[in-house]
């Protein structure tokens, strides 16, 4: 590794923290690719390949993220991008599968977070002692970054150190969040919300809640340390389309459903189906999330589109408002997967995996978009800021975007770019 950058004072800007920034009015947006992956190492892509987690900033303006593959050992990387007058320089902070049988983890898919000392925390969906994922810490020093596995998840139907049995304790696809006491919280793919607590020089895992189903969505915390998350599908009435839940810390992590997506009398999901992105807060305490599908079928086929929605707390409960229905038509996006970002004016930003105007190497799904949902009083209007062209600008973003103080948006696209293998990009959309 050619360089080490240790932030003196880290801003905690994880994927699960909404960036509440004022932005100017948007005109025609421009996209700039900050980095093309797979520039080194040939097909092995030692600099990383296929980024699909949200980015975070440090106080100096450097960007940090993960790729699910590539690196010196092929198991994915944690990377840093540093700006200069000549562009952005990538530094691989850690390449996974550096240990036998990948006990250090492999395939990091979620976003990272910083603690106050500049340590990074994240998850891998594979590797570890039981080959079903890890929670890891990267600690900086003058000689480089040192990785420590804090917890290895159990195999399906097996047991590990905590004694849990079954599907709960396996395969984290999202990152983790940290409370004021240094405890870590996150979800696993097979429907579990966990807590890791530091104790006696190690970490103890606790099982907090089983949700109906959870794919890549993470969890978020409020100021009191309560945990908020989503379930893709409730499985049973009255919430077969999924739901948003809260785990109350003061009540011993008791769960309450804030809002669920029902099926209407016509057998359709008018408000969306598959709640699938990490819920985020705005300054007023409202929650925002997305659904992957919108209940509309094309030629009797699969559900398409998706929705963005807002939940506002009140004495009578949480009030639901649908902000936009994505249809993949007329240049609109389809299938928002990553978490939303909300500025101080209540405008909402995000990405869609498909839709837009650019066909991905001839594929009918098109390449995805970056969008803005503008708030005007109680009304919301969606605008596509950028449609990915499926070539050098990237395609199929699976993560959301973050904003800087000037209102520029930063994100990743899992595919595309200038490398031979179309291994993904880090991009910036400029108003």
Of 348, 371, 352, 368, residue with least CA distance to 360: 368
Q: Is residue 18 part of a domain?
A: no
Residues whose CB falls within 8 Å of the CB of residue 370, separated by 6 or more in sequence, listed in order: 29, 31, 349, 350, 351, 384, 385, 386, 397, 401, 409, 411, 429
Q: Is residue 414 part of a domain?
A: yes
Average pLDDT over residues 218-247: 86
Q: What pLDDT was estimated at residue 376? A: 93
Instruction: Please calculate the CA angle 410-411-412 and round it to the nearest 5 degrees.
Output: 150
Q: Report residue 241's pLDDT band, with 50, 70 and 90 as the boundaries.
A: confident
For residue 217, the domain's CATH number is 2.130.10.10
Q: Is residue 381 part of a domain?
A: yes
Q: Provide the whole-model pTM.
A: 0.90
Q: What pLDDT was estimated at residue 373? A: 97
Q: Is residue 17 part of a domain?
A: no
The count of other CB atoms within 10 Å of the CB of residue 34 is 17
Q: Is residue 7 part of a domain?
A: no
Report the number of distinct structural domains present in the chain: 1
Mean pLDDT of all residues in the chain? 85
Give the tens place of pLDDT for each residue, 312-325: 999 999 999 999 99
Structural domain range at position 211: 30-430
Q: Is residue 14 part of a domain?
A: no
Q: Is residue 227 part of a domain?
A: yes
Average pLDDT over residues 109-127: 96
Q: Report residue 189's pLDDT band, with 50, 70 and 90 as the boundaries.
A: confident
Q: What pLDDT was estimated at residue 177? A: 98
Helix (H), strand (E) at residue 428: strand 425-430
Q: Is residue 21 part of a domain?
A: no
Cβ burial, residue 379 (10 Å; 0-12/13-18/19+): exposed
The count of other CB atoms within 10 Å of the CB of residue 24 is 8
Please give the residue that has the higher pLDDT: either 4 or 351: 351
């Amino acid at each position: 590794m050619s360089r080490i950058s240790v932030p003196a004072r880290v801003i905690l800007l994880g994927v699960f923290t909404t960036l509440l920034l004022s932005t100017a009015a948007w005109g025609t947006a421009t996209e700039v690719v900050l980095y093309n992956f797979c520039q080194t190492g040939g097909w092995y892509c030692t600099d990383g390949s296929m980024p699909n987690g949200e980015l975070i900033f440090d106080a100096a303006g450097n960007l940090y993220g993960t790729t699910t593959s590539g690196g010196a050992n092929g198991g994915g990387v944690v990377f840093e991008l540093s700006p200069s007058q000549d562009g952005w320089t990538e530094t691989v902070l850690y390449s996974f599968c550096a240990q036998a049988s990948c006990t250090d983890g492999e395939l990091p898919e979620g976003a990272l977070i910083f603690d106050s000392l500049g340590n990074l925390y994240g998850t891998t969906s594979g590797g570890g002692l039981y080959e079903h994922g890890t929670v890891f810490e990267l600690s900086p020093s003058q000689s480089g970054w040192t990785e420590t596995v804090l917890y290895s998840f159990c195999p399906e139907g097996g047991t590990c150190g905590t004694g849990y049995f079954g599907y709960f304790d396996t395969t984290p696809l999202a990152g983790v969040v940290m409370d004021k006491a240094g405890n870590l919280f996150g979800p696993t793919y097979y429907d579990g919300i966990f807590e890791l607590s530091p104790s006696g020089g190690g970490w103890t895992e606790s099982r907090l809640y089983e949700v109906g189903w959870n794919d890549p969505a993470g969890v978020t915390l409020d100021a009191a340390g309560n945990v908020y998350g989503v379930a893709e599908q409730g499985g049973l009435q009255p919430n077969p389309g999924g739901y948003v839940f809260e785990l109350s810390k003061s009540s011993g992590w008791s769960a309450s459903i804030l809002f669920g997506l029902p099926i209407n009398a016509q057998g359709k999901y008018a408000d969306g189906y598959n709640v699938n992105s990490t819920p985020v807060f705005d300054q007023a305490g409202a929650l925002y999330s997305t659904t992957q599908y919108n209940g509309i079928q094309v030629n009797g086929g699969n559900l398409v589109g998706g929705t963005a929605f807002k939940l506002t707390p009140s004495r009578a409960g949480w009030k639901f408002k649908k902000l936009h229905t994505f249809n993949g038509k007329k240049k609109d996006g389809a299938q928002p997967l990553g978490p939303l970002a909300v500025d101080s004016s209540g405008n909402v930003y995000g990405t869609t995996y498909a839709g837009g105007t650019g066909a991905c190497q001839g594929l009918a799904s098109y390449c995805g978009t970056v969008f803005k949902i503008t708030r005007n009083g109680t009304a919301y209007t969606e605008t596509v800021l950028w449609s990915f062209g499926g070539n050098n600008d990237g395609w199929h973003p699976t993560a959301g975007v973050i904003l800087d103080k000037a209102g520029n948006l930063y994100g990743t696209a899992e595919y595309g770019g200038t490398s031979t293998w179309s291994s993904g990009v880090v991009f910036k959309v400029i108003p």
